[in-house]
Amino acid sequence: MSAEFDRRTFLGAGAAGLGYFFTASAVSAARMQRSPNQTLRFAGIGIGGKGSSDIDHASELGEIIALCDIDDSYIDKKASKWSSAQKFHDYRKMLDKIGKEIDAVTVSTPDHNHALASLMAIRMGKHVYTQKPLTHTVFEARVLREAAKKYGVCTQMGNQGSAENGLRRAVELIQGGIIGPVKEAHVWTNRPVWPQSPEIVARPNKADVWPKGIHWDAFIGGAKLRPYVAKTYHPFNWRGWWDFGTGAIGDMACHTANMAFRALKLAHPTSISAENAELNPETYPAWAHVKINFPAREELPPVTVHWYEGKKDGKLVLPPEELLKKVLKPGEKLADSGSMLVGEKGILFSPNDYGAEFRITPEALAEGKDLKNPEHLPKNGHGDQGMKREWVEAIKAGKPEIAYSNFDIASLLTEAFLLGNVAIKTGKTIEWDGPNLKITNVPEAQKFIEKEYRRGWEVTRA
């Protein structure tokens, strides 16, 4: 772990290659040299936007020793709080230079940089907290799942609804059978709330000078280099571009479909299809309805999860009206984001991004507080900060499973819904062999499971 590298050789050979310098056993042995009671030393990769609160939360649980961002204004703001923290613009250089001093990292970059930053840290034996969606591609999600298990680190994905006691209770009730076998679930969002199709369907035909303090090459990361255009990609509008974001389904399914995914014990789907607005090569479509079919699991029947995003003809794309009438009270307006699990005996309806608030229809099903549905999940209830506390608890106990949204579950959730974007791009129903990461019926769609990277930013499967 204390080995020094020739940095020019390392960066020129490809950043992902760093993982091959360490065996999993060597990483584990080096990590054990520090007592679990010692103060954890955190580095923040991406510290603006959501990353700002992520690194603030980490600071309440340990020491901030490094700050990394492509925008100097974000670094300067945080450096005023932690003046001793070292500053970086490229996470590869940070891990190369001071990796041995870091215990854990938060990764809160744009989606396209999640995988490599997380993977490099994992392969160095660092514990990782990565914002949702876990990755930019299905392949990357699988790589992180495998790496986390191989190197024995503690991980957590930042879908903070996982910490809500309401979500955990909904999972318990559904698994206890309160609404009977579930064969369909419906999840919807009002996203996108950022520019994409139909407003933007092509790249701007201009290039602005990079502002002082913006490190554009580091922002681009593994994507193909393109000119900087003010306010077009940074700091927030990257979400609507294929090369950087994952669209509405990537942004919100890890939140809004999380409860259903857990409650129904979902893993690999068998087929995925989509209907959507007109496609273009640069930005996500204006709206989509994605259907994800999952096989029977243990005693549970096959289930179809419906995902709805965006606006069609000026109106939100939503579940069927006849289904909504079954859960809405007279005069009640449907929430812009929520989910429904439809069982043989009733419906669990959540008008909430996280599935943390819910009610059961018909109400008589819930009145007796069914004894077949005992509480068995640990309580949290501390929201976003509760996610970090749980992650640190896992680190100090040496038990990755304590973190409720660890990469073992988070990668499956991410994979399943990013396959929705693959179906959108493909325009056909795709049949999916999850264990083998393979589309079995549309060979030309396999290219969308992973992507090409710029030299030095590759994500590889070890």
Phi, psi at 44, each rounded to 5°: -105, 125
Q: What pLDDT was estimated at residue 398?
A: 97
Q: Are 404 and 376 in contact (CB under 8 A)?
A: no
Phi, psi at 450, each rounded to 5°: -135, -165
pLDDT for residue 199 is more than 60: yes
Q: What is the mean pLDDT of residues 394-402?
A: 98
Q: Are 334 and 324 in contact (CB under 8 A)?
A: yes
Between strands 182-188 and 303-312, the pairing is parallel
Strand partners, 292: 272, 305
Question: How does 427-460 read in b/e, with b if 16+ C-beta sit within 10 Å?
Answer: eeebbbebeebebeebeebeebbbbebeebbbbe
Q: What pLDDT was estimated at residue 366?
A: 80
Superfamily of the domain at 7-162+386-415: NAD(P)-binding Rossmann-like Domain (3.40.50.720)
Judging by beta carbons within 10 Å of its beta carbon (0-12, 13-18, 19+), is residue 67 exposed, middle or buried? buried
The C-alpha torsion from 383 through 385 and 386 to 392, rounded to 10°, is 160
Round to whole Å and give the CA distance between 194 and 196: 6
pLDDT for residue 80 is more than 60: yes
Q: What is the mean pLDDT of residues 31-52?
A: 84
* DSSP three-state, residue 217: helix
User: How many other C-beta atoms lie within 10 A of the C-beta of residue 60?
Assistant: 10
Strand locations in 46-94 (E): 63-68, 86-88
* DSSP three-state, residue 432: strand
Place of tokens 């250089």: 93
What is the value of pTM for the model shown?
Answer: 0.93
Q: What is the pLDDT of residues 156-181, one digit of tens each?
A: 999 999 999 999 999 999 999 999 99
Structure tokens, 356: 């943390």
First to last CA, the chain: 18
Question: How does 246-277 read in b/e, with b if 16+ C-beta sit within 10 Å?
Answer: bbbbbbbbbbbbbbbbbbbebbbbebbbbebb
Q: What is the pLDDT of residues 338-364, one digit of tens each?
A: 999 999 999 999 999 999 999 999 988
User: Chain-wide mean pLDDT for the chain?
Assistant: 92
pLDDT for residue 438 is more than 90: yes
Q: What is the mean pLDDT of residues 67-80?
A: 98
Please state which of the ranges 31-40, 288-297, 372-381 shows the lowest mean pLDDT. Answer: 31-40
Q: What pLDDT was estimated at residue 364?
A: 85
Round to whole Å and give the CA distance between 10 and 90: 14
Q: Does residue 190 come out as left (phi exceeding 0), alpha (psi in the -120 to 50 range) or beta? A: alpha
Q: What pLDDT was estimated at residue 35?
A: 59
Q: What pLDDT was estimated at residue 26?
A: 52
pLDDT for residue 237 is more than 90: yes
Judging by beta carbons within 10 Å of its beta carbon (0-12, 13-18, 19+), is residue 38 exposed, middle or buried? exposed
Q: What pLDDT was estimated at residue 12?
A: 36
Rg (CA), the chain: 22
Q: What is the pLDDT of residues 275-286, one digit of tens each?
A: 999 999 999 999
- 14 or 418, higher pLDDT: 418
Q: What is the mean pLDDT of residues 450-454?
A: 97
Q: Are 315 and 279 in contact (CB under 8 A)?
A: no
**Entry field: residues in the chain:** 462
